[in-house]
A = this chain, B = another copy of it.
């Protein structure tokens, strides 16, 4: 029988192919046939395991959103860590994750632009930016400046290089290998810069 115990191998092959193709080309530019080919399976299997392109996409999108916000959530809510410690953790962990998922930010942000409903917001991203312990600490340290500015600065310094990556490489500014070194350097530099901004 094995009613629910599907092969898992095939299903996962499709899901992994979907991750690759969706992330690379976005929802609209992705053809279900592209995913089938990438997975090495018959097109009909995609609709057998997942009901539709849309359903498969929602699955991938949820994963990606969770990954993009999941890294910072536990850090900014840390009860015992200082501002500096949080900044160090965020810069390090975020850049490490982004080095393994360079296309993630541009994918998630442009899909949310195309279709805000895709942003299920299970991670309650809004709260991270307005009600976290990190925000409270920032408000204490710099009461005269909207703490959201610092949140955006920190995130932008980590994320933006990866958003600009296609342009930087296409314009011949950096090779993929140089991009990696560049991002690694920023792990420590961002901490230093952030401290300077807080003390200005």
Q: Pick out which of these stretches binds chain B: A34-42, A49-57, A71-79, A103-111.
A: A103-111
Query: Is A9 positioned at the interface, with any CB of B under 8 Å from its CB?
Result: no
Residues of chain B contacted by A186 (CB below 8 angstroms)? 149
Residues of chain B contacted by A173 (CB below 8 angstroms)? 125-126, 129-130, 148
Main secondary structure of the interface of A (DSSP, over half): helix
How far apart sit A159 and B152, CA to CA, in the bound complex (Å)? 11
Cβ-neighbour of A199 out of B168, B171, B196 (below 8 A): B196
Whether A26 and B112, one on each chain, are in contact in the complex, defined by CB atoms closer than 8 angstroms, is no
Residue of B with least CB distance to A159: B160
Count how many chain A residues have C-beta atoms less than 8 Å from C-beta atoms of the other chain. 53
- Chain A residues at the B interface, C-beta cutoff of 8 Å: 25-29, 103, 106, 109-110, 112-114, 116, 119, 121, 125-126, 129-130, 145-146, 148-149, 152-153, 155-157, 159-161, 163-164, 166-174, 182, 185-186, 189, 192-193, 195-197, 199-200
Whether B114 and A149, one on each chain, are in contact in the complex, defined by CB atoms closer than 8 angstroms, is no
Cβ-neighbour of A160 out of B110, B152, B189, B195 (below 8 A): B152
